[in-house]
A and B are shown apart, each in its own frame.
Chain A
C-alpha cells in the first residue's frame, strides 16, 4: 500500500518526471489520468523537449509563428518550415526529438548550375522551396552540399538523402552508376547507385540497390550494406548519400552525388535538395 504522500505528488513534480521521457511517451501518458494530462501540457516538459537553441531557430524562420504554449511550439516546429531566407527547411522529428534539415537546390553546389544551357532554375511542382533546379543537359553531373555538424543534434547518426525527380524526358542518368559520398572529419563513406525511372508505365517498378563501400580512412568503420532508392510520401525520390555520426563537435559535413565518369549527356533530373534526418 503506497503512502498517502504519493497522492499528493504535485503536478510540477510529475511534469519534471515526464520531461525526462520523450515527446511520444509524454503524449501517450496523457491518458493515464487528468493530472497526467495537465502535467504533460506544462511548459516545463516541452521546454526540455525543444532544442536548446530553439529561440535562435525561430529567429531564422521566413514566416514568424505564434504559439500558445511550448507544447504548441514543439508541434508547429515538427513540420518542415522555411528558414534562412527560404533556402533551407527545419523540422524536429517528433519521434526521435532530433533536428532535421533540408538544403534547397540553391544551397547546394551544382556544377554548371549557372549556365542556362545546362541547368534551369524554376519553381518545381510539389516543392517546399520557391525554386529548384532542372537538368537540361550536361555530361559532368556533380551535386555537393555542406552543413556544419553543430546545426544538427549531437550524439546522433544521420542519413543524408538527395531529393530528386526524373522528368519524362530524363535520359542518360542510368547508363552508369552514380557515386555518392559523405565526409565528416576523418570519416568518409562512398557508395554507388543507379538513377532509374520508377514512374514510367513502360517499365516495371525496379528496385535499385546501392553498395556502400567504405574508404577505410582513419576512423570510418561501416559495414557494406545495400540501400534502396526510395519513393517518398510526397512523391519525390530519395537517393541515400550515406550516413554519419554527429558528435556535436565543430565539423563540416560534405555530401556529394556525381556521375562524371561517363562523357555522355544526361538530362531531365529535377533537384529539390538534400535532406538530413536521424537514422532509425
Chain B
C-alpha cells in the first residue's frame, strides 16, 4: 500500500494562504516531520514566520528535491536556476529554511550567499545585509588585531 505517499498536508502561510503538499515532500522540513511523527499535525499547519511568496518558493524546492525520478545533476541544475534571485529574497528564504529546519535548502542558499559575499567589500556586505557598522574605532582595531593575517 502506498497510502503514506498519497497523504497530503495543508500548510498555511503567515498571510493566511493555504498550500497543499504531499507529506512525503514536506517531511524534508524537520519541523514538519517532528509534528507528523508526534502526531501533532493540525489541519492546516500554521507557519507564522513564512509569508506566501516565500512559502511558494520553499514548496517548489521541496517538491523538486522529493522527486525520485530526478538525478542528482538534474537537481543541481534546478538549484542553480532556483538561486538566481535578489539577495533579499535569498535571505528571506534562509530565514524560512531555518524556521522549517530544511537542511538541504539551507545549505544551497547559504552556499550561494557565501560565494557572492566573498567578492564584496566590507561596505558592500553591510549594504546587502542591511547592517550598520556598530564598531567604535577602538573596537574595530581590536577586531582586526584578533586576526591580523586576514588583513595583510
User: Contact at B98–A22, with CB atoms within 8 Å?
Assistant: no
User: Contact at A29–B125, with CB atoms within 8 Å?
Assistant: yes
Within 8 A of A (CB), among B127-151: 129-135, 139-140, 143-144, 146-147, 149-151
Contact with A along B99-128 (1 / 0, CB 8 A): 000000011001101110110001001100
The count of chain B contact residues (Cβ–Cβ below 8 Å) is 34
Whole-angstrom distance from the CB of A100 to the nearest CB of chain B? 16
Q: Is residue B10 contacting chain A, with contact meaning CB distance below 8 A?
A: no
Q: Is residue A2 contacting chain B, with contact meaning CB distance below 8 A?
A: yes
Whole-angstrom distance from the CB of A158 to the nearest CB of chain B? 22
Q: Is residue B66 contacting chain A, with contact meaning CB distance below 8 A?
A: no
Residues from chain B with Cβ under 8 Å of A18 in the complex: 114
Whole-angstrom distance from the CB of B50 to the nearest CB of chain A? 10
User: Contact at B131–A35, with CB atoms within 8 Å?
Assistant: yes
Whole-angstrom distance from the CB of A244 to the nearest CB of chain B? 28
Contact of A20 among B91, B114, B150 (CB under 8 A): B114
Residue on A with the closest CB to B109? A17
Q: Is residue A125 contacting chain B, with contact meaning CB distance below 8 A?
A: no
Residues from chain B with Cβ under 8 Å of A94 in the complex: 149
Whole-angstrom distance from the CB of B105 to the nearest CB of chain A? 11
Residue on A with the closest CB to B86? A2
Residues from chain A with Cβ under 8 Å of B125 in the complex: 29, 32, 36
Total number of residue pairs linking A and B with CB closer than 8 Å: 91
Residues from chain A with Cβ under 8 Å of B150 in the complex: 24, 27-28, 30
Q: Is residue A7 contacting chain B, with contact meaning CB distance below 8 A?
A: yes
Residues from chain B with Cβ under 8 Å of A36 in the complex: 125, 131
User: Contact at A31–B140, with CB atoms within 8 Å?
Assistant: yes
Given known A-B contacts A17-B117, A27-B149, A28-B150, A33 and B126 have beta carbons under 8 A apart: yes
User: Contact at A31–B114, with CB atoms within 8 Å?
Assistant: no
Q: Is residue B94 contacting chain A, with contact meaning CB distance below 8 A?
A: yes
User: Contact at B115–A20, with CB atoms within 8 Å?
Assistant: yes
Residues from chain B with Cβ under 8 Å of A24 in the complex: 149-150
User: Contact at B117–A9, with CB atoms within 8 Å?
Assistant: no
Q: Is residue A59 contacting chain B, with contact meaning CB distance below 8 A?
A: no
Residue on B with the closest CB to A21? B114
User: Contact at A29–B117, with CB atoms within 8 Å?
Assistant: yes
Q: Is residue B92 contacting chain A, with contact meaning CB distance below 8 A?
A: yes
Residues from chain B with Cβ under 8 Å of A25 in the complex: 117-118
Q: Is residue B41 contacting chain A, with contact meaning CB distance below 8 A?
A: no
Contact with B along A10-54 (1 / 0, CB 8 A): 101100111111101101111111111100000000000000000
**C-alpha spacing A266/B143, complex, angstroms:** 53
Residue on B with the closest CB to A25? B118
Q: Is residue B47 contacting chain A, with contact meaning CB distance below 8 A?
A: no
User: Contact at A20–B88, with CB atoms within 8 Å?
Assistant: no
Q: Is residue B21 contacting chain A, with contact meaning CB distance below 8 A?
A: no
Q: Is residue B45 contacting chain A, with contact meaning CB distance below 8 A?
A: no
Whole-angstrom distance from the CB of B15 to the nearest CB of chain A? 13
Residues from chain A with Cβ under 8 Å of B59 in the complex: none
**Which of A10, A13, A29, A37 has the most chain B CB atoms closer than 10 A to its own CB?**
A13
Q: Is residue A8 contacting chain B, with contact meaning CB distance below 8 A?
A: yes
Residues of chain A touching chain B, judged by Cβ–Cβ distance below 8 Å, are 2-3, 5-10, 12-13, 16-22, 24-25, 27-37, 94
Closest 5 CB pairs of A and B: A20-B114, A27-B150, A27-B147, A2-B130, A20-B111
